[in-house]
Amino acid sequence: MLTASDLRKGLKVQIDGNPYIVTDFEFSKPGKGQALYRTKMRNMITGNQLVKTYRSNDKFEKAELEERKMQFLYSQGDEFHFMDTENFEQLVLTREQLGDNTHFLIDNMELDVVFYNNLPIDVTLPIFVNLAVTKADPWAKGDTSGNDTKPVTVQTGYELQVPPFVEEGDKIQIDTRTGEYVTRVKE
């Protein structure tokens, strides 16, 4: 059993027979009052949001999830196709189910698909992915504005802040847990 003090972003819990992932979480405690854990969660099957406030003594069950190694094949509109690398069975996840994970999916990428009661519901991405920069403003040398980052777009359409020396066509490594730039990679 988990208690409210175990709550953190990314934790997967089971509520009324449904798996939820914690998407946002804030600890608050009015003076002399009780600890309150204000939590936003996403139903991992329906994608519905759940906003709830818990107290220290509230208990949770960990969601019983199973992961299988798969390959991401391609996306078509809001459907994302995956293939089991052992038995070649294919399955589809929707954009809604994948949430922000779609920012980091590239064709033929290997990852884990998450199952709940044998239903595919989500993916677990590798921690680091390398993506190509498709749009970046050129770096004006001698720029004295003091900005130490600039926005770029990568091949999946995801936008992020990077150091000014990153250029269009570069490959950059991104931490999928935070969505932040890690380093430029040479291939």
Partner 1 sequence: MLDRKRLHLRAAFFRFIRSFFDHHGFLEVDTPIRQPVYIPESNITPLKSEKEYLQTSPELCMKRLLAAGHSKIFQICHCFRKEEKGRLHLEEFQMLEWYRNGADYYQLMVDCEMLLRFLLINLLELQAEKNFAATSFFSGINLDHTWERLSVADAFARYSPVHLDQALREGQFDEILVEYIEPYLGTVAPVFLYDYPVELGSLARKKADRPTLAERFELYINGIELANGFSELTDADEQRARFNLEIAAIKANTGGDVLMPERFLSDLQQLDTAAGIAMGLDRLFMVIINDQRIADAVTFSPEDFR
Q: Which residues bind partner 1 (CB under 8 A)?
A: 5, 26-36, 38, 53, 56-57
Q: What is the nearest approach in angstroms of partner 1 to the Cβ of residue 129?
A: 23
Interstrand relation of 2-3 and 79-84 (parallel, antiparallel or unpaired): unpaired
If the CB atoms of residues 32 and 141 are measured against partner 1, the closer one turns out to be 32
Q: What is the nearest approach in angstroms of partner 1 to the Cβ of residue 53?
A: 6
If the CB atoms of residues 27 and 139 are measured against partner 1, the closer one turns out to be 27
Structure tokens at 143: 């720029």
What DSSP designation does 138 have? P
Residue type, 168: E
Q: What is the nearest approach in angstroms of partner 1 to the Cβ of residue 21?
A: 20
If the CB atoms of residues 53 and 90 are measured against partner 1, the closer one turns out to be 53
Enumerate residues 6+ apart whose C-beta is below 8 A from 76.
none
If the CB atoms of residues 49 and 56 are measured against partner 1, the closer one turns out to be 56
d(CA 105, CA 113): 12
Q: What is the nearest approach in angstroms of partner 1 to the Cβ of residue 35?
A: 7
d(CA 92, CA 32): 50
